[in-house]
Structure 1
Amino acid sequence: MCEPLSVGVHACRRAEVGPETHVLVMGAGPIGLVTMLAARAFGVPRIVIVDVDDNRS
């Protein structure tokens, strides 16, 4: 799980997310879910996750 975590942290750093940011994660796979966790760790108050597969979101 280190590689998906590094992708999520890198995305949050590049996007400069913080407590005043809202985030949309497109895809509820391993990278999307870990990106959600990274965004939460960066202090994002509202995170929306969408996926084309209804069973995953």
Structure 2
Amino acid sequence: MGEHLTLQVPETLYGTYAVALDEPIPDPAALAHTEVTRRTAPPLRDLVLGMLDSPMLTLD
């Protein structure tokens, strides 16, 4: 699904690269929830899932 960049910090961060698709993803929110749940461990997973469910996304 793309390349990942792992940084040596207390939490694991992933770099995500945007690429052109042949067709749109039917449900991007569901895909984001699935991938975050599959790839990220608590407590970071819970924080990210909470932000995905929020009407506003927090950027620090």
When normalised by structure 2's length, the TM-score is 0.32
Higher RCO, 1 vs 2 (CA within 8 Å, ≥6 residues apart):
1
Would you tell me which structure has more helix in proportion to its own residues? 1
Structure that is richer in strand per residue? 1
